[in-house]
Amino acid sequence: MDNKTIKRNILLNPGPATTTDTVKYAQVVPDICPREKEFADLMKRIRDDLVRIVHGDSQKYTSVLFCGSGTLCMDACLNSLLPAGKKILVVNNGAYSARAVEICESYHLPFLDLRFPMDALPDLAEVEAMLRRHPDIALVYATHNETGTGILNPIREIGALAHKYHAVFVVDTTSTYAMRPIQIEEENIDFCMASAQKGLMAMTGISFVVGNRKLLEESGNFPKRSYYCNLYMQYEYFEKHGEMHFTPPVQTVYAMKQAIKEYFDEGESAKWDRHKRVFEALHAGLARLGFQNLIRREWQAGLVITVKYPEDENWDFEKIHDYCYERGFTIYPGKMNNAGTFRLCALGALDENDIVSFFRVLEEGLRENKVTVPVIYGGGTNHAE
């Protein structure tokens, strides 16, 4: 096969991310039945590596994989880790925590939706007040990087509060895992999760939970609210048989194996430095074209930028998107209820020079569509540097 036949697209959307060709080609393997020992050995190594990536002690922490996208793990954690008669507290300051609320509603789980503005950090005093007022909260849920806006939530602090009030702390790290370094135990995380197509730069179709083994084993006695997506049942099957309960996405697992190898070859800090370089290059390009950030720079997780639409009658996101897309660059709409925004993300196998190329195309696209450059705004808050 000729690697050069695969066109390289620069994905600036919040996942799936741009992958290397070596990861793409790793999917092309001889057919194998996943019930073979060879496949179980592969799964075992991957499970250990997933714990290692967040610096978990392999005795205390374990990982469970599922065939599905990242939301499946949000679903699995919420439906599986709540004892009977207890409540979930969702720290909600964005679209992904709002999704967790919808999951709780779908299962009719008792929960408290502690809402904060989408463009701000959660107030820890309010989190603590809720925990004090509701001693039946057994699970606190928060999102690490709120991908809808790019805000980095204070996980360690929320986790410390959860533990102070004897609740389990579940964090959605889907858009930080294998990018922003995470120390699972030090950051007070009992369970975190991600999907293979984001930080790991592997293929879509696998997602996983990394969590505290003892707590996971205790959850075996909790009510079973899902059959396919029960965390304990999947864990138990892995422990007994070394594999997923049901058919895994075989070829996708091989791509993940290669992506994990590339993750460790690049190294945690070098990889995070690269994402930071891409993020800085995005900010520099946006500032040069006059674009404004919606979220304060010091609150951003370093991976997602929410950009305000210019106030120009010729601005049309779809047209700019299409112009960039036709030239190999994908930009993505925002997830704010009432503000016109789009997002640019620093995920994937990219580096600074890709971002420089992107801004050449974006600027051309703006001029082609008669949008004034630098872009104009009528007023309002300006968080551009």
In the complex with ligand PLP, the residue whose CB is nearer, 62 or 147, is 147
In the complex with ligand PLP, the residue whose CB is nearer, 141 or 323, is 141
Establish if 306 lies at the interface with ligand PLP (CB under 6 A): no
In the complex with ligand PLP, the residue whose CB is nearer, 78 or 371, is 78
Q: Residue 139 Cβ, how far from ligand PLP at the closest point, in Å?
A: 17
- Residue from 19, 93, 143, 292 touching ligand PLP (CB under 6 A): that is 143
Choose the binding region for ligand PLP from 64-72, 78-86, 216-224, 273-281 (rule: CB under 6 A).
64-72
Q: What's the CA gap between 346 and 325, in Å, rounded?
A: 17
- Residue from 56, 70, 249, 285 touching ligand PLP (CB under 6 A): that is 70
Residue list 192-221, contact with ligand PLP (CB under 6 A):
195
- Residue from 10, 12, 15, 167 touching ligand PLP (CB under 6 A): that is 15
Establish if 92 lies at the interface with ligand PLP (CB under 6 A): no
Q: Residue 142 Cβ, how far from ligand PLP at the closest point, in Å?
A: 10
Q: Which two tokens stand for residue 335?
A: 């997830």
In the complex with ligand PLP, the residue whose CB is nearer, 69 or 258, is 69
Q: Residue 20 Cβ, how far from ligand PLP at the closest point, in Å?
A: 20
Residues that bind ligand PLP (CB under 6 A): 14-15, 69-71, 74, 96, 143, 147, 172, 174-175, 195
